Amino acid sequence: MTQIEITFLGTTAAVPTKVRNHPAIHLRYQSENEYCYLFDCGEGTQRQILYSGLNFMRIDEIFITHLHADHFAGLFGLLESMSLEGRKKPLRIFAPEAEKFVEALQSVGYSSKNFAVIPRNVAFEGNEIERLVDAEEFTVYAIPVKHGIPAVAYAFVEKDRIKIDKAKAKKLGLPETGPLYRKIKAEGSDVFNGKKIMLDDISIVEKGKKVVYSGDTMPCSNIVKLASDADLLIHDSTFFTDLEGMEGARHSSLDEVMRIAKQAKAKGVILTHISRRYQDIKELKEKIKGYENVKIAKDFMKIVLK
């Protein structure tokens, strides 16, 4: 059994409120192993991690969507704390212009970190999906989005799993267990009682789950492409009304996000990066009433995909 646990550590847009911290999302992938990834790291993220019962020492890699301070300012303190707590493992930071950014980050103040911070530039122009991490059980991708400065969206995609279908195997007269299954899984086929058994004959494909995080963006075709068939699309929804003059804001509104989700055939949507103009959650819940499978993010909200 595998699961993806997503914790919203900050859900405001630009300026914090009493209940919404600067953007950050923690994703924990649990299989036989555990992987913890942090997407964006606004100011105060390390305390939000503590409040949410997570452990910042477990973070394996960090992905920053763009270099506006509300999405990265928490890195200063987080990296220091990791060092003070004895981190030795190198830490990769993915971001558009990461090399330039990490160099600047490391040159501020006096610090003697005991672990290497490795920047990894993410392409922020064009329409190609870029593969950043290719692990045994999942892949992390990025695509450029539209925010007026170099900005990207990320996708965490679990790989499909091939499972033995016991009912199908039984029908073919195969034993319940045995080395046969290992061989068929590894080599695609085996011979049993003189009959060739193909993997396809006795297996089912369990589709991997897909989570996409837009970062800050105006509606664009790239996010539709990345979010195609996503189980969960976490999208910038700074505004809930299509007000005139918002075009220059370089963000998305509720209706725009829902159009994107529909085009991408995303199964669930979470709206985040909420402008502080919306203090009343009841008012926002009214606005999403007509839509299905959509939620408004709040700090410390957890979503588990199994």
Residues that bind Zn ion (CB under 5 A): 68, 216
Nearer to Zn ion, 40 or 190 (CB): 40
State the nearest-atom distance from the C-beta of 250 to Zn ion, in Å.
7
Q: How far is the CB of 252 from Zn ion (least distance, A)?
A: 12
Q: Is 231 noted as a catalytic residue in this protein?
A: no
Nearer to Zn ion, 152 or 227 (CB): 152
Residue among 40, 60, 70, 231 flagged as catalytic: 70
- Least Cβ distance, residue 68 to Zn ion (angstroms): 4
Closest CB to Zn ion among residues 203, 272: 272
40 HSE (CA, 13 A, CB side): 35
> How far is the CA of 111 from the CAs of 67, 93, 114, 192, in angstroms?
22, 18, 10, 64
Q: Which of 60, 98, 37 has the alpha carbon at shortest distance from 106?
A: 98
Which parts of the chain fold into alpha helices (H)? 45-51, 69-72, 75-84, 98-107, 166-171, 179-187, 199-202, 221-226, 254-264, 281-287
Q: Do residues 155 and 63 touch, judged by C-beta distance below 8 A?
A: no
Six-digit token string for 27: 């994703």
For the CB of residue 32, give the shortest distance to Zn ion in the complex, in Å.
Answer: 37
Cβ count within 10 A of residue 244: 5
Distance CA 230, CA 200 (A): 26
Nearer to Zn ion among residue 43 and residue 216 (C-beta): 216
68 vs 210 by CB, closer to Zn ion? 68
Q: How far is the CB of 216 from Zn ion (least distance, A)?
A: 4
Q: Which two tokens stand for residue 223?
A: 């996010």
Closer of 29 and 39 to Zn ion (Cβ): 39
DSSP assignment, residue 247?
G
Least separation in angstroms between residue 147's CB and Zn ion is 6
Tokens of 103: 């160099």
Active site residues: 70
